[in-house]
Structure 1
Amino acid sequence: MPIDFSGYWKMQSNENFEDYMKALDVNIAVRKLASFLRPDKEIIQNGNHMVIKTLSSLRNYVMEFDVGREFQEDLSGVDDRKCMTTVNWEGNKLSCVQKGEKPGRGWTQWVEGDELHLV
């Protein structure tokens, strides 16, 4: 099994985040607000079961899933959408694909040294 992502991760930077949200057609109010936040991540991993908490001063978001198993993700508190999401291992990286009204959504996450990277 790949590496353990468990831990508390503090955001250091969010380069090009507003442009990314704009490309995904996230509304301008949400984009402006989100670009100022510096959310932390708390990750609890038990084998292939993951709980990823995104924590900020404005709102928190919890994503709980089993790697490799599709689930319905409710992002109504984030960017007001619902999608079918699958997260898979790609080596030591987690790769997320979100299927919904907008194609090409998702993310990749990995650890290098003591840093968590999210693209």
Structure 2
Amino acid sequence: MPASLYGTWDLISNDNLEGYMTALGISPCLRKIALKVKMRKVIEQQGDQYTIKTVSKIKNYTISLRVGEEFKEFTKGLDNRNVKSLVTWEGNKLVCEQTGEKKNRGWAHWIEDDKLHLELYCEGEVCKQVFKKNVNE
């Protein structure tokens, strides 16, 4: 069984976010703002049902999903596209494959060394983010 992703996680490192956003087609102005934003992940879980919230002072994004069930997702506030998403466990990683206008798009969350890791990928660009658990939880 994979480690629990449950909790509130604060961003501590962010590698190649600009390259990832460029691949998504996000404007230079929005990329500049996004690079300065401090993000937090809030992950809730009940069985195979997950709610993943990305929270910042500027914009919040929430998805609810059930592992193994494809769902339609509108990436409102990100790149504003309709995609079909499917989330599965691949070993210890919670992996999402997204089908739509952009190729080779998705993400993976996993726990390593008591930290939450997130890889976001689109059309060959990979953004690697690391979060530490919020101690005030």
TM-score range, shorter chain: over 0.9
CA drift of 1:92 comes to: 1.0
* 2:80 matched residue in structure 1: 80
CA drift of 1:25 comes to: 2.3
CA drift of 1:90 comes to: 0.4
Q: Which runs of 5+ in 1 are unaligned?
A: none
Aligned-partner Cα distance in 1 for 2:69–2:48: 10
Identity of aligned residues (%): 45
Greater CA drift, 98-107 or 17-26: 17-26
Q: Which runs of 5+ in 2 are unaligned?
A: 120-137
Pair 1:116 & 2:94 matched: no
TM alignment of 1:18-97, pairs within 5 A: 18-97=18-97
Structure having the higher strand fraction is 2
Q: Which has the higher contact order (CA 8 A, sep 6+)?
A: 2
Whether contact under 8 Å (2:25, 2:79) holds in the other structure is no
Q: Which amino acid aligns with 2:114?
A: D
* 2:128 matched residue in structure 1: none
CA drift of 1:76 comes to: 2.1
Aligned-partner Cα distance in 2 for 1:7–1:77: 23
Please give the TM-score of this superposition, normalised by the length of structure 2.
Answer: 0.82
CA drift of 1:27 comes to: 2.2
Q: Tell me the number of residue pairs that the alignment of Structure 1 and Structure 2 aligns.
A: 119
Please give the TM-score of this superposition, normalised by the length of structure 1.
Answer: 0.93
Q: 1:15-45 CA distances to partner (integer Å, 9 max, x unpaired)?
A: 1110121123222222222111121000001
RMSD: 1.2
Instruction: Could you list the structure 1 runs, at least 4 aligned residues long, displaced by more than 3 angstroms after superposition.
Output: none
Aligned-partner Cα distance in 2 for 1:30–1:101: 20
Whether contact under 8 Å (1:30, 1:79) holds in the other structure is no
